[in-house]
């Protein structure tokens, strides 16, 4: 069955759908003919923007509500054929500054939301946006799904708790949950002005403004950045899959690159005249730094037939093209 056949007229609820990844997914679902409802409370400091749904406003119903306040979207939840659960706070540094805020957004709100989903729409497929941050420092690369879970910050701990809610409720037959552990994502609609959206957001904003960039450390750390359309594809496939030998999947990019190489490609593509410098890690960041990371994606390739299609340079070109069409002050 094609994605179009599967999603046509399907009622999809997208939490966090005004944010970076959620809006890319909502746009794609709307274009596939799904009946899309977005629930997003536009949390200050997160990546929410109304303009992220530009071009599909007439196709997407937006409910401005905290996912914890389920009375605000009870009917939509009760009627959902599928839930894409992307609401959350992504900032590691902010989770260390204000752990209770992160707990509220990533864990308490998820528990209330999932409890309501079990009651109103028992057994519904829920695809949750997890994070590679749950792994903590890697003993070896690439990192597979079954290694020790050892997060270095509150965000990783809270996101792990939310994963476990999905797993536990699935085991009990109350939900049909799938967790996608995402690596560093970039692409159109990336939040450029929210604090703590990660180094790709900082590099992109500074280069688009014609400013130089600073790398924390010596630049040798490894990452496997992934383009947003490839992530959207993983969500769509996880939503469609019937036979699921596993419920947790890494979603990582096609190349493992040093942060210095990532910075160099971005600089060359966006603002070649600007400088890339290294500086020592700020001590508060070093405390929760995970070192090098790359995802072992063999499980999702095998089970869901997914693969990342967009190389980093090509993805950055697409991203820059997209931002050239909108104001970077968003």
Instruction: Please report, as ranges, the residues that interact with ligand NAD according to CB under 6 A.
Output: 15-16, 18-22, 39-43, 46-48, 66-68, 86-90, 105, 109, 129, 131, 159, 182, 184-185, 191, 198
What's the min distance (Å) between Cβ of 284 and ligand NAD?
20
CA angle 300, 48, 22 (to 5 degrees): 25
Task: Give the residue nearest to ligand NAD (CB).
Answer: 19
Question: Closer to ligand NAD at the Cβ: 35 or 91?
Answer: 91
Alpha helices in the chain (DSSP H): 3-7, 20-31, 74-79, 92-97, 99-103, 109-120, 154-171, 199-208, 228-240, 259-270, 283-286, 298-304, 312-324
Residue listed under structure tokens 């992530």: 231
| β-bridge pairing 226-227 and 276-279 | unpaired
Question: Closer to ligand NAD at the Cβ: 106 or 170?
Answer: 106
Q: How far apart are CA 277 and CA 299, in angstroms?
A: 37
Question: Closer to ligand NAD at the Cβ: 51 or 210?
Answer: 51
Question: Closer to ligand NAD at the Cβ: 89 or 296?
Answer: 89
Question: Closer to ligand NAD at the Cβ: 170 or 228?
Answer: 228
What's the min distance (Å) between Cβ of 13 and ligand NAD?
12
Question: Closer to ligand NAD at the Cβ: 107 or 170?
Answer: 107
Residue listed under structure tokens 């942060």: 259
CA angle 296, 301, 305 (to 5 degrees): 165
Residue listed under structure tokens 């490839």: 230
What's the min distance (Å) between Cβ of 43 and ligand NAD?
4
What's the min distance (Å) between Cβ of 181 and ligand NAD?
7
What's the min distance (Å) between Cβ of 193 and ligand NAD?
11
Contact 75, 53 (CB under 8 A): no
What's the min distance (Å) between Cβ of 164 and ligand NAD?
15
């Amino acid at each position: 069955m094609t994605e179009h056949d599967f999603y046509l007229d399907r009622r999809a609820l997208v939490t966090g759908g005004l944010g970076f990844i959620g809006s890319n997914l909502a746009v794609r679902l709307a274009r596939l003919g799904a009946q899309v409802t977005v629930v997003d409370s536009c949390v200050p400091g997160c990546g929410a923007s109304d303009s992220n749904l530009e071009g599909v406003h007439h196709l997407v119903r937006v409910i401005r509500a905290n996912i914890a306040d389920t009375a605000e979207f009870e009917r939509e939840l009760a009627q959902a054929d599928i839930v894409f659960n992307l609401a959350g706070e992504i900032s590691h540094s902010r989770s260390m500054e204000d752990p209770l805020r992160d707990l509220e957004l990533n864990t308490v709100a998820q528990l209330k939301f999932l409890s309501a989903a079990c009651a109103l729409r028992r057994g519904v497929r829920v695809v949750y946006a997890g994070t590679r941050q749950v792994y903590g420092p890697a003993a070896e690369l690439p990192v597979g799904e079954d290694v020790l879970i050892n997060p270095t910050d509150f965000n990783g701990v809270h996101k792990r708790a939310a994963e476990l809610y999905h797993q536990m409720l699935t085991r009990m037959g109350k939900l049909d949950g799938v967790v996608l552990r995402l690596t560093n994502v970039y692409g159109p609609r990336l939040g450029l002005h929210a604090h703590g959206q990660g180094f790709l957001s900082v590099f992109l904003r500074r280069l688009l403004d014609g400013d130089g960039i600073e790398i924390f450390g010596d630049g040798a750390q490894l990452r496997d950045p992934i383009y947003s359309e490839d992530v959207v594809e993983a969500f769509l496939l996880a939503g469609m899959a019937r036979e699921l030998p596993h419920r947790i999947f890494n979603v990582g990019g096609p190349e493992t690159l040093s942060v210095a190489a990532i910075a160099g490609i971005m600089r060359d593509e966006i603002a070649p005249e600007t400088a890339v410098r290294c500086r020592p890690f700020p001590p508060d960041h070093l405390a929760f730094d995970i070192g090098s990371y790359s995802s072992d994606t063999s499980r999702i390739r095998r089970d869901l037939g997914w693969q990342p299609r967009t190389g980093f340079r090509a993805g950055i070109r697409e991203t820059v093209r997209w931002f050239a069409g909108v104001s970077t002050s968003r």
